[in-house]
Amino acid sequence: MRNEVKLSRRAALLGGAGAAAALSACSQPSFAPLPQPEGPFKHGVASGDPDQTSVMLWTAVTGADGAPVSVEVARDEAFTDLVLEAEAGPAGPATNGATPYKLLADGLAPGLPVFYRFRFREHVSPAGTAKTLPDGAVDAFRIAAFACCNYPAGFFNAYRHAAERGDVDLAVHLGDYLYEYGAGGYATEDSERLSRVPDPVHELLTYDDYARRHAQYSSDPDLQALKAAVPLLLIWDDHETANNAWEGGAENHQDGEGAWAERRDAALSAWQAWTPTREREPMHERWGRLEIGDLADLIFIETRLTARSEEVLLDPFPVDPDTADPDDPENRRIVAEWLERETGGADRTLLGERQLAFVSAALGDSVAAGKPWRVFANQVIMGRVPAPDYAKVMPFWLRWAVQANDPLAWSFIKRFSFGTPFNLDAWDGYPAERERLYAAARAAGADFITLTGDTHNAWTIDLHDEAGVRVGTEFGVTSVTSPSRFERLNLPGVDFGTYTEEAAPEVLRHNAYDRGYVHLTLTREAATAQLMVVDTCKSREFNAYPDSVWRVRPANGGAVPQAERIS
């Protein structure tokens, strides 16, 4: 997501406005090492990438010395009814003394939980619960969806809440599972106070850098609780490699940092070693489909590293935002034509031909099988989100504060007065590709739900194609800890979420401030989404509650219904 670094570097949109509203100065971290728990299994256990008969099991062993690391899988928590005993293999080299291990547990029964643990010499790991995907008739399936997890920004309370609620069949992580920045970089201002200084303290570039950061995340007790409680499906967005990654590079990959492909592959190798995922070749082409019996298909896509065209920026802008009148039709025409020229080309892609063909076939197969639901695991906002005219809708005192204290931020804010989208790093910057996806869904007779990360905000969006035909519903997942661009402007009389809802016809709900996750329950009659929020990530004492609850009915071959708010 580009607003973390680019907005701060350019004093853009509401990062600058936040400064105008009296942001506190960042303290310099002391780089003191974090204390680590004792024992060889300090990084916990995890399961992931399930299908009907198998699931990947993962751990890391500190001090592995060549002795075997074995796995036990049982039907009961006491491990008296074993269904599998096998030796795990190392998934990568040791990092800070810890070696990751994996085993694909196969030959399991569909849709049933199993318990697993690892053994190393006389040591036994914590036990985890894994679950294969169901086969045949399925009445209900429950997904917890997460995104944007920045270790130095706060505690992983959203993970903890989902782990303990007891009604999750699969955790889906929609990207930004970790961040590549070093100490003093994005969202690290509280890291020393919270004892969450990033390791290593510099920006990640090499395999060892990325692996050390994964190891640090894996030591977190709340993430460990989630990984032990439910299987994970992980897709990446940009920060697993570098901010605003695309096929040929990234915003946060500069000259002097080596070849982009080498950094990308180093990052993905560490990601593959330190997560419970099946290996793929080439690594950066990670897309696929999980079949949830006769109820649903979960289609996960890759929109960063395989085929993404480079992002279009609002700087340089085709008119001078400081002097041009945004109400002048000629100026608006100039900006509209520039947007069409820069973003509207048929050659601008996110998925690419091969992935789009896979998605089209998966949609068709799902409809042919009579399944009521198709759910995308998607990185960036798919719906149309025109930006509010912040220069008009913000209260006078806030407009005055921004102009007086940060003229550069005000200049950037004024760009949105000319009818530009909220975020050109999202599908709004690739409208032709979006229409190709929507056309594929129409051709298959498929409605869909998309779960989306990236923005650090919570959304409900009513998806329409260019002709205005409803095609599905999007639930945008807010962050686990990463701050919202609007977070420090949660002020009396100011609601940036409401501004968006009033400016964007497709947006039914925009929570611009809170951290949390989405809990989605699929049944044959309805899909019910809870936009869950936690009241803080700066303390381990927290409360969690639904921001709102939404119900979607399946189209079943007819017109696609709009999401209905039920709470």
Q: Note whether 359 and 301 are within 8 A (CB).
A: yes
CA angle 550, 553, 557 (to 5 degrees): 150
pLDDT band (50, 70, 90) for residue 62: very high
Which one, of 550, 175, 174, lies nearest residue 376 by Cα? 174
Q: How many CA atoms are closer than 13 Å to the CA of 260, on its beta-carbon side?
A: 16
Burial class (CB in 10 A: 0-12, 13-18, 19+), 30: exposed
Say how far apart CA 408 and CA 121 lie, in whole Å. Answer: 61
Mean per-residue pLDDT over the chain, rounded = 93
pLDDT band (50, 70, 90) for residue 483: very high
Burial class (CB in 10 A: 0-12, 13-18, 19+), 191: buried
Peptide bond before residue 200 is cis, with ω within 30 degrees of 0: yes
Query: Which pTM was predicted?
Result: 0.94
6-30+133-565: CATH number: 3.60.21.70
- pLDDT for 37: 54
Q: 1-15, 253-267, 433-447: which has the minimum mean pLDDT?
A: 1-15
In the predicted structure, residue 100 carries a pLDDT above the cut 50: yes
- pLDDT for 409: 87
- Please tell me which residue, 16 or 358, carries the higher pLDDT value: 358
In the predicted structure, residue 555 carries a pLDDT above the cut 90: yes
In the predicted structure, residue 33 carries a pLDDT above the cut 60: no
In the predicted structure, residue 370 carries a pLDDT above the cut 70: yes
Q: Which element (helix H / strand E) includes 377?
A: strand 373-378
397-419 confidence digits (pLDDT tens)? 999 999 998 888 899 899 999 99
Domain coordinates in residue numbering, the chain: 6-30+133-565
